[in-house]
Each structure stands twice: as structure tokens, then as C-alpha cells.
Amino acid sequence: MDYTIIVSATASDAAPLQYLAPYSGCAMGEFFRREAYPGDVFYLHSRLLERAAKMSPAMGGGSLTALPVIETQAGDVSAYIPTNVISITDGQIFLETELFYKGIRPAINVGLSVSRVGSAAQTKAMKQVAGSMKLELAQYREVAAFAQFGSDLDAATQQLLNRGVRLTELLKQGQYVPMAIEDQVAVIYCGVRGHLDKMEPNKITKFEKEFLQHIKTNHQALLEQIAKDGQISADSDAKLKDIVSKFLSTFSA
């Protein structure tokens, strides 16, 4: 009761007092609502992150982007601190220790990583090639956990596992090795369109390196066209498919 105000209008009070009682109570409570905030870390999270904003020209312009980094305990993303920050931000990238030690780097858990911005931040070309990839990888991780306990898999499940292994290898990236958007599109195109389904997973990295060298040397105009248009036109799609097919026929693993 130390933090409580009681505004009482009983049945014996006049009708106007009974009418005004709830309004009076709200008016008094609003003062403390404005002036008092919970002094805990959850309040601090929101206060800090709301400072990451884009200022209007009248306020001097400029913007601030916040990238909060949260360390999870034993990979528990449902703990108080992670869930509170997740509820505020535009998404999260969940890095998993187990994936890191398996050699999958960056060690991103596709199932737990979420973007609330979604494809709005992607070019149309990236949407065209990577639209279904997140779902495929999430399904692959889920199925792979059960597949190790039995060998009786139907053709569709086996295909999901095969594609998932190769896409995972394809997405591995070395430290300090950034890639242009058109290079990413070309490489991901090879994976999601099934061109690598029959290739041994340990040959994927070699293929990616040599394929990028080949397309940059002999078909730079196509990459520039994709970068300029921001999408894969029907003509570019046909050219890219032909380039990949011809390169695979000469690729020596």
C-alpha cells in the first residue's frame, strides 16, 4: 500500500462524486506513471535502444544504429535478457558454439535467427535466388537431427538432406572476405537451383572459388547487369544457367 492511492466513492456519496472518482484516480496515477520507471535492466534496454534513431532535418539529421550483443548461457535464447532485447530489436542473429566447432562459420543458427525487416532490405535479385533458402536450411537442420537415428528415408527427405549439406557448405565464408551482392547472387543461384546436388560437399568451397574467378574473368558484363538491374531478368537467368552448366562440365574437382 506504500505505492497506492485509493480514491473512494461509496454508495452513500453523491452521484457526481461517484462519476468523478475513476477520473480523479487516473489523473493522480498519471503523475507517477510519467515520473517513475522501474529501475531494472529491462527498462535500461528500452531506454538505450530507443536512442538508436534517425533524426529529422529539423533535429539536425543523422542516424544511429545499435547492434546489441548478448551472450547466452548454454545457448538458452529464452532467458530474461535475450528475450527482452529480442522483443525490442528488428531481429536477431543467433551464433551457435556447436556450429562454430563443426567448421560452419559464420556459425549462424538459421532456425533461431529472425529478421522482422524481412526481404524489404534485399535486392530483388537476392529475393529471387534466396527466397526459399532459409526455410530449406531450417528444415534440413531439423531433419538432420533425426536422420542419424535411422537409415530408412524417403526420396524427398534424402533430397532435403543432400541439398541442405551443400547449401551449408556454400554459405561458409572466410574472415575478412566480403562479397559483392552480384557475386552472392551468382553463387547462391548455383545452390538453390540444384546445380550442386550431385557434387561432393567437400568440393563446394573449391567450386565456389573457381566459379567466381571464371565468371568474373569471362562474364563480367553479366554480373554488372545483375548489379545494375537489381534483379535477374529472364535473359540473365538463361545466361547464368548456361554459364553454370558449361562450367560444371569442365570443373575438375
Per-residue pLDDT tens over the stretch 159-208 = 899 999 999 999 999 899 999 999 999 999 999 999 999 999 999 999 99
Position with higher pLDDT, 96 vs 148? 96
**Phi and psi, residue 231, nearest 5°:** -155, 165
Position with higher pLDDT, 187 vs 153? 187
**Phi and psi, residue 108, nearest 5°:** -90, 125
Report the pLDDT value the prediction gives residue 35, as an integer from 0 to 100: 64
Report the pLDDT value the prediction gives residue 178, as an integer from 0 to 100: 92
Q: Where in the chain is CATH 1.20.150.20? A: 120-250
Residue 215 burial by Cβ neighbours in a 10 Å radius (0-12, 13-18, 19+): buried
Is the model's pTM score more than 0.85?
A: no
User: E-assigned strands of the chain?
Assistant: 91-92, 114-115
Selection from 132, 49, 107, 41 nearest residue 80 by Cα: 41
Report the pLDDT value the prediction gives residue 195, as an integer from 0 to 100: 93
The crossing angle, in degrees rounded to 10, of helices 204-218 and 155-170 is: 60
Q: Could you tell me the three cell numbers for 200?
A: 561432393
Dist CA 242 CA 234 (whole Å): 12
Position with higher pLDDT, 150 vs 45? 45
CATH among 1.20.150.20, 3.20.20.70, 1.20.1070.10, 3.40.50.10090 for 120-250 = 1.20.150.20
Enumerate the active-site residues. 116
Confidence class for position 152, pLDDT limits 50, 70, 90: confident
